[in-house]
Structure 1
Amino acid sequence: MKTIYLIIFIIVIATSGCVEKHETANLSIVQEPDIRENDTAVIVAIAPVVSQKESYVYYEDMIQYISGKLGGPVRIVQRRTYQEINDLVQNNEIDFAFVSSGPYVEGNSRFGMRLLVAPEVNGKTTYNSYIIVPRNSSYTNLLDLRGRRFAFSDPLSNSGKLYPAYRLFLINETPESFFGKDEKGRYNYFYTYSHDNSIIAVAEQLADGAAVDSLTYDYMKNTKPEIISKTRIIEVSPPFGNPPVVVPKDINPFLEKKLKDILLNMDKDEEGRKILSRIMIDRFVSINDNAYDTVRGMREEIK
């Protein structure tokens, strides 16, 4: 198993070697052209909070459930980055999307992305950013990672980029100045484009540290304890509003209401409860935009 993870991350890291671009390999498994052409299905986009294969496993039953309640097909669209998902929402190429809090704040500010619902997990509608390191390392806080190799998840991620960058901003540092460059002139930070990939990078000591979504980390405690057991948490951020389900500004109001009703009532029937339980969600709830003010505030300060 370790060999498999190493092969995956050697590919990711090797292809991110350009000094200034901080890019990784295109991990997309779905790249649909002309999404709306002759397509009558309701289309949902899933942001790569976890890697795309894992996203399908995580969301497949829920999407089938929504399809059944709508009485018609629902098609999943995936992309490699949060920005690509935001572009689909902005261009009205999809009907609703599962996104993270950072992309929501960005999309709401830029083009009016709207909240539909958010998950409640363990009785809370908030999550945290975890700074994690290898279990056998001596690091005790983010400042110990100066000059070390660090994994961010996505440039638009709140827990996987904005929060740790904000921590550095408060001490007059940037990721570039704090993590520095290696002997070949490449920056010591890189993007994995999903939180589970960041966790694996730390577990296999391909990164000395990473910033990850607490929801993904806690989910993997149950589903992949052999990976989590190789890591430990050294810092926990303040709480942020949970990653929401969103819709485009110009969505059909009838479809918006139908989708919201389905999600808000999912915990009230046996099939829905079983699906939610498998992915460790209590229920979906309505959420106010001000739940994301902390993210918005960090974003404004760091600009």
Structure 2
Amino acid sequence: MAMLLASCQPTHSDYQIDFTKSEPAPIQSHEGRHDPIRVTFSSLLAPSDTIVHYRKIANYIGEQMQRPVILIQRKSYREMSMLVINGGADIALLSAGAYLTFRDVETLEPIAVQERMGVPYYQGYLVVNNAREDIDHITDLIGKSIAFTDPLSYSGYQFVHHKLAEMNETPEQFFGRSLFTHNHEHSLRAVIDNVVTAAAVNNLVFEQALEKQPELSKKLKVIDKSKRLGTGPVVVNRNLSDLEKDQIEHIFLTMHENEKIKAALKGLSIDRFVPVDPALFEITDSSSDRGGRQR
């Protein structure tokens, strides 16, 4: 998780990651149908580390469908969501927050969800530097700085927004300064390096960071948690034929059985894809889990 924050100055502006060189490009061609299957993603993990794994998965989809494939990378969840909504992509690996925002749009149809660390759900963590003994609750962050990941990220923004709304506050009014990193690991690093006071991050990314670097458990503490929510779903454009949608669903639900693709999934910290359970995306009191002082 060695991340450099040299490009991240303590201002109100977003972290900017240049994806202009990642224009859609054909990955693989096959005889038969000439119209490509278009797959879009936006990774809040390190893009340079994940693109190779997404390419392998996209290639596999093309091989199984005997179609050309185009892989389209977008920086933000909104850009990616609008791409599939407007017909510019056939398959999207959405975030849970983006799916909650756009799930009533008629052109989106979920076909699978990610299983990570053995479960198909996750939480948002509100994390601060363990040295901040004066901060144990979200109310202690008034006037302080915070790192978010993406406005459509449930764990990286929306759950904090919801908690503040319950307090009749908004992030703009409550925090003294905020920025968007577009990357959960960058957000954690911003807290460790005291660039910001707090960060909203995906609990799975947080736990994996501690597995890789156990010493981080002495540097970070969780002061609040979101309610549990289903992991980011795979959605398809509903205008695809039923046959195409069935094919794509089968490919995602079985791709972990292929050793090469299993390795690519592991590189993305995904165990496998499992069928969609609509209950995973209903946020209720029973899915709540208070944080308290940890680590």
TM interval, short-chain normalised: 0.7 to 0.9
Change in CA separation of 1:217 and 1:148 when aligned onto 2, cut-off 3 Å: same
State how far apart, in whole Å, the 2-side matches of 1:278 and 1:52 are: 12
Q: How does 1:6-17 map to 2 (within 5 A)?
A: 6-10=5-9, 13=10, 16-17=12-13
1:175 to 159, 171, 176: 171
What secondary structure sits across from 1:8 in the alignment? Answer: coil
Name 1:233's counterpart in structure 2: 222
Listed as ranges, the gaps of 5+ residues in structure 2 are 27-33, 285-295
Name 1:218's counterpart in structure 2: 207
State how far apart, in whole Å, the 1-side matches of 2:145 and 2:205 are: 21
Could you tell me whether the CA contact under 8 Å between 1:267 and 1:282 is conserved in 2?
yes
Is residue 2:241 matched to residue 1:245?
no
Name 1:25's counterpart in structure 2: 16
Change in CA separation of 1:40 and 1:224 when aligned onto 2, cut-off 3 Å: farther
Is residue 2:149 matched to residue 1:149?
no
State how far apart, in whole Å, the 2-side matches of 1:78 and 1:223 are: 27
Could you tell me whether the CA contact under 8 Å between 1:200 and 1:227 is conserved in 2?
no
Name 2:29's counterpart in structure 1: none
Change in CA separation of 1:228 and 1:257 when aligned onto 2, cut-off 3 Å: farther
Could you tell me whether the CA contact under 8 Å between 1:203 and 1:231 is conserved in 2?
yes
Name 1:91's counterpart in structure 2: 86
- State TM-score, norm by structure 2: 0.82
State how far apart, in whole Å, the 2-side matches of 1:229 and 1:76 are: 40
Change in CA separation of 1:218 and 1:62 when aligned onto 2, cut-off 3 Å: farther
1:193 to 182, 188, 199: 182
State how far apart, in whole Å, the 1-side matches of 2:265 and 2:43 are: 19
Change in CA separation of 1:51 and 1:282 when aligned onto 2, cut-off 3 Å: closer
Which one is further off, 167-176 or 64-73? Answer: 64-73
Deviation at 1:294, TM superposition (A): 1.4
- Code of the residue aligned with 1:129 in structure 2: it is G
Q: Deviations over 1:145-171 (max 9, x none)?
A: 111110111111111111011111112
Deviation at 1:90, TM superposition (A): 1.0
State how far apart, in whole Å, the 1-side matches of 2:262 and 2:244 are: 23
State how far apart, in whole Å, the 2-side matches of 1:163 and 1:169 are: 10
Which one is further off, 267-276 or 119-128? Answer: 267-276
State how far apart, in whole Å, the 2-side matches of 1:228 and 1:53 are: 26
Report the identity percentage: 28
Q: Deviations over 1:77-113 (max 9, x none)?
A: 1112111111101111111011111111222224442
- Code of the residue aligned with 1:217 in structure 2: it is F
The RMSD of aligned alpha carbons is 2.8
Deviation at 1:215, TM superposition (A): 2.4
State how far apart, in whole Å, the 2-side matches of 1:34 and 1:74 are: 9
Name 1:162's counterpart in structure 2: 158
Name 1:287's counterpart in structure 2: 276
State how far apart, in whole Å, the 2-side matches of 1:211 and 1:265 are: 33
- Code of the residue aligned with 1:32 in structure 2: it is E
Which one is further off, 88-97 or 120-129? Answer: 120-129
Change in CA separation of 1:197 and 1:29 when aligned onto 2, cut-off 3 Å: farther
Name 1:114's counterpart in structure 2: 109
What secondary structure sits across from 1:173 in the alignment? Answer: coil
Q: Deviations over 1:233-292 (max 9, x none)?
A: 222222111111111221233222111111111233433434334443332111133321
Alignment length (residue pairs): 276
State how far apart, in whole Å, the 1-side matches of 2:23 and 2:260 are: 30
